[in-house]
Structure 1
């Protein structure tokens, strides 16, 4: 019951701790976002000017961005619509109406003329009654449009003349009305009626009278089409391209009058002091959110950090801030017209430190973030928001530093990486200059090359300078610290030497073996060497219970039970780790002390216990508590530890015996699953085996190659 309660309490504490850590992580991300916003704020903040209407501009003002001038666009559209001619359509119905009206008039005249003739009235005299009768037959609107004398002349004509006149006028009206007649062309069209009737076989007086009726029937038939006209105008509006104020376009030059049009453009672009826009800041916030999200994804997904994740984030924030501060400070020199001053920023320093001290994958993500920030900070061209040249330059420089450092002896390659970055920087500058195909002077190109070379070298120098401070401040095991701890005068090493000299000698041998093997597979050889010095510090508690310290004395284990002997032997890992903690030694050394035996089996005491016991003996009782090796260095030390002890026990070690023994030990460790929790590969284990064999052959060289020396010494005696 107590165990269950303890487990629950432990789980609660772990959950509470996990939530606290997550909160700290969130704070770090917020701080990074704030730093980014503060640094980049001034670079996206729109410039404003104290420009007054009808005043003289004190400077040349450029458009900071491209905007659509809706007012000017609308004006251009209306101008295009106004230039569209009115659309007309030929109305065929008007032709038929006019012809029908002419026929009706003449038919009415003929009908009235016949009626008068039946009444016996004189054909040469048109009485008022006849006129009145004709008026009643025709509509008033038509009758009033035709002069009375026209009717008088026509009523005097006989039926055949009227029929001829009617047909002639109908033909003339039809011909004329079949052609488009605008309002302004009506007079001309009516005048052409007489031309159409000039060859008709009628008296001139009758032709003139008939022509009057024809003229009255001629009306405009080419009428204004509202829908077609509006469609044309709308088409003209749509064909007008929107008027834009292009980014980089000169709005007003220095010394030019700020008229209403210029003032309107300044107001549209938000360049007046009384005009403020939040769009750039919203855009910057979204960009920062995207970068921080990318950072969160990689940090929270990544599990392998050289130090704790919380410390890694704090260290990352410091390195990130230092790099951004250098960018920002150097960007101030842009005001002095130093072209492409951003080339000199040692931005690669940041990713070098992040790769060496935090995590390689995080360094790649940071390269992209530095490139984006640099392209914003060093944007000196009004025609673009981002300086893509500087962004590309930073990206390639940072990637070059990360890739050159690689995974092997990275600290020793920092200066070389800086030189490589300089070379890549020069290549990038050269390629960009050639692609632009501009008129860059030789002096400018030379200055670019100098800045590119200085950037890489200074990056490596600063990285080397910052490394000891960060390693010391965050408890990162540095080369200098390892060298300091390897001093034989260190209290713990003196303790091993004086209290357990056999263990000390064994540790030195293991250190030699482990260092060369680690360097062969690209692991940290110096860490393996110095860690090996301390890996058996726990044996100083009971030194005489370990065979290497039993000189001219009985083995105390002969008088102990297998279970008790097992407890004493196994305790040296946990007791050693506790001693190292007490002396505040690096965590790496504590891990080596705890993990160098993993969960391996004490075979001798296990079999001894089985022989002397009448009940079942569990194998788990005779295994080390672990954990299993978590790193390549510890895995190599565990192999070297076993190999050294085993080879020392050989009576006549030969190269073949050593090689078989080393391979057998490694094979046994693999089959026992001791390397399941570290990232060492089978290929690397083969390299470790070869390295150990070569080192052991060197150690036992004299005994292997010159066995006859012993015989000579005997004979001389």
Structure 2
């Protein structure tokens, strides 16, 4: 089945000047493209000028302030905290003290040299005086941590023991000074404890170990001195290595709630969102306009290359532009302009609804393949509005494709309900798939299920159904939605037909069945063929008694001359057009009414007139319909179905052979008369139509195999059955709806 396309753009003759038309610049199309680019750029740039916020640090917010867009801001408080931790982790920087070890060893030797000197000069007297003399000679710098008891022990030792204590002390001090000793009191105390512990480990005599440890402790000196400048430099370097902490505030999030005091974090959010000093980012607007221009030119090039019929129809291009602008405006309104406090997820689901609805409308009003491209671009727009959130863009595109597929060839009202179910199923699957990929909580996916299972499909279907009718009328299009309404046999015009011309109504329903079957067989628009068949003979309402299907007693043509009869018969075309316009039927149906007889000859009355006078072209022209010939495949199918149905009812004994003969004869006559020349039907399609008619008539007429079928085929081969069949069916067909059962050669 061929996908549904606007009936006004299908089946027309090829434009012989197509190449020349393509080479010319069309100001209307150019202006439309420029206007579309400007409007879309403005709609997409509105969010770049947010409202100004004048709140200061510490003030109370008088209202809820909602983020108009998604933005990233620097969390200064957290960043400074991390920098402080990094600086604290650096520690102090120390410089090496030159000759610190030599100074410590020199102090140690000075103590022992002074003790030996005092002991050698003062061998008598109180020991306390000798201790005082030692301290006097050492001064306040050296020996300050050595106790009087230690000096007494040293002064009372024999020389060998004193030298041994000195050697042990030198060993311990040298080892201690090889390690870092900072000029920090705590570090120096720790080093002295280590020296004492080392002396106790090396020496077995506790008394001697205490002497050595005390003297070594006094000799220790810091060999590392604190450098404040280098410490500050290292801390600053550590701070510089800390990366700034950025937070993301989503569009629709509450920046600050009503009654909440303004903190530094709120100020940072305001600045990131541009609320403190709003201004237009002209470069962003320029690049956005360039992006919109590329998208519009892409669509124009695509239509020019692959769908030139759409491209050359300015009205269809205008409709396409209007739908795109409506879709973009709807996305913008649902996203921010109304100021409704929606979460980003709710905005995303509303975006899916609008993209799907616009895709379905474009599929029905313009073209399904073009609709796929438009929905892809609108999905990108949705992603831009959500600051690159691809999950909703992907879901919108795939949901819209399901909607396009479900309505592209809508045939009856149940198909719309089916499309709602398909949208709901696709949406629910996508919610759980994308939710699983993003590790969404179950509650969030359940909320999404409600949106895509109810709100999106029902809303999109409602927008599609109620949006199609006004757009059809505004742009003069006809879609299956309006055709479905016309196919309702309870429509006032069809009710009038069944009341005033019941035979014609029955004939029209039968023609509709044949036409729909044939259209399906060749991939034409079967619904259009069926609806056109229902209304093709509404002109007979004006004078129903002049058509044999509505006559019960006598044929009024028996009392009229052939010329007047032909005039009355052919007038039902003009009457039908007038009635169709009165009831505001679509243009494609009116065209089918005008074309379903083409310029055929009213054969029966022409033969009567030709028997009374010499036949000539002037006479023949008086008995032909005014045309035009069928311009579309659907109109041609209606013509063939009309003639075949009328001829088939004249068969007294329908069999497989007679049905096939009638169908082939009617179609052959139309071909010879040139009635199908402007319809774009191929010979292969005509053969398919003939076979479809044969199968349909065998089912409706309950054709049965006759034992004389072989004999009939033999006569048909000799031409006898054809002549008999023409005589049997020709007059009745002429009375029903005269046409060329045989054409004048």
Q: TM-score range by the shorter chain?
A: 0.5 to 0.7
| Change beyond 3 A, Cα 1:461–1:251 | closer
- Measured after TM superposition, the shift of residue 272 of structure 1 is 1.4
Partner residue in 1 for 2:369:
361
Q: Which structure 2 residue ranges, 5 or more long, are not aligned? A: 1-16, 124-137, 144-149, 436-440, 495-509, 537-591, 713-723, 725-745
Partner residue in 1 for 2:736:
none
1:51-450 maps to which residues of 2 (within 5 A)? 51-52=55-56, 55-64=59-68, 65-69=70-74, 71-72=76-77, 74-84=79-89, 86=91, 124=121, 163-164=163-164, 166-177=166-177, 180-183=180-183, 184=185, 185-186=187-188, 189=191, 218-221=220-223, 238=241, 242-244=245-247, 246-247=249-250, 251-258=255-262, 262-273=266-277, 277=281, 281=285, 285=289, 288=292, 291-292=295-296, 295-296=299-300, 298-303=302-307, 305=309, 308-321=312-325, 350-369=358-377, 392=395, 396=399, 398-407=400-409, 410=410, 412-413=411-412, 415-424=413-422, 437-438=442-443, 449=454
| Change beyond 3 A, Cα 1:156–1:282 | farther
Partner residue in 1 for 2:582:
none
Q: Which moved more, 1:157-166 or 1:355-364?
A: 157-166
| Change beyond 3 A, Cα 1:366–1:77 | same
Is 1:36 aligned to 2:34, yes or no?
A: no
- Give the distance between the partners of 1:367 and 1:163, measured in 2 at CA: 100
Q: Which structure 1 residue ranges, 5 or more long, are not aligned? A: 1-12, 114-121, 127-141, 488-508, 558-564, 593-630, 711-717
Partner residue in 1 for 2:525:
524
Partner residue in 2 for 1:689:
691
8 Å CA contact 2:84–2:239 kept in 1: the answer is: no
| Change beyond 3 A, Cα 1:100–1:287 | same
8 Å CA contact 1:367–1:394 kept in 2: the answer is: yes
| Change beyond 3 A, Cα 1:660–1:106 | farther
- Give the distance between the partners of 2:83 and 2:36, measured in 1 at CA: 52
| Change beyond 3 A, Cα 1:156–1:373 | closer
- Give the distance between the partners of 1:392 and 1:192, measured in 2 at CA: 71
Q: Which moved more, 1:652-661 or 1:13-22?
A: 652-661
- Give the distance between the partners of 2:373 and 2:76, measured in 1 at CA: 45
TM-score, normalising length: structure 2: 0.52
- Give the distance between the partners of 2:595 and 2:168, measured in 1 at CA: 133
- Give the distance between the partners of 1:347 and 1:145, measured in 2 at CA: 89
1:459 to 464, 471, 480: 464
Give the structure, 1 or 2, with the largest relative contact order (CA under 8 Å, sep 6 or more): 2
- Give the distance between the partners of 1:692 and 1:422, measured in 2 at CA: 37
1:503-582 maps to which residues of 2 (within 5 A)? 516-524=517-525, 534=595
For 1:50, what is the secondary structure of its paired residue?
Answer: coil
Partner residue in 2 for 1:129:
none
1:554-633 maps to which residues of 2 (within 5 A)? 591=631
| Change beyond 3 A, Cα 1:657–1:224 | farther
For 1:35, what is the secondary structure of its paired residue?
Answer: helix
For 2:693, what is the secondary structure of its paired residue?
Answer: helix
8 Å CA contact 1:172–1:193 kept in 2: the answer is: yes
Once the two structures are superposed, what CA deviation does each residue of 1:512-547 show, in whole Å capped at 9, x if it has no partner? 97665224444235559776974885678xx99xx9
- Measured after TM superposition, the shift of residue 373 of structure 1 is 6.0
RMSD: 7.3
Is 1:470 aligned to 2:475, yes or no?
A: yes
8 Å CA contact 2:360–2:403 kept in 1: the answer is: yes
Once the two structures are superposed, what CA deviation does each residue of 1:409-435 show, in whole Å capped at 9, x if it has no partner? x4x53x444433444566678779998
Once the two structures are superposed, what CA deviation does each residue of 1:531-571 show, in whole Å capped at 9, x if it has no partner? 6974885678xx99xx99995599999xxxxxxx9xx9xxx
How many aligned positions are there?
560
8 Å CA contact 2:75–2:244 kept in 1: the answer is: no
8 Å CA contact 2:60–2:260 kept in 1: the answer is: yes
| Change beyond 3 A, Cα 1:87–1:682 | farther
Once the two structures are superposed, what CA deviation does each residue of 1:241-286 show, in whole Å capped at 9, x if it has no partner? 7142543665443234446664454234321145665687568647
| Change beyond 3 A, Cα 1:310–1:423 | same
Once the two structures are superposed, what CA deviation does each residue of 1:193-239 show, in whole Å capped at 9, x if it has no partner? 7998899999x9xx99x999856752224666999998798668756
- Measured after TM superposition, the shift of residue 24 of structure 1 is 4.4
- Measured after TM superposition, the shift of residue 69 of structure 1 is 1.1
TM-score, normalising length: structure 1: 0.53
1:46 to 50, 53, 61: 50
8 Å CA contact 1:520–1:688 kept in 2: the answer is: no
8 Å CA contact 1:33–1:288 kept in 2: the answer is: yes
- Give the distance between the partners of 1:75 and 1:459, measured in 2 at CA: 54
8 Å CA contact 1:510–1:641 kept in 2: the answer is: yes
For 1:84, what is the secondary structure of its paired residue?
Answer: helix
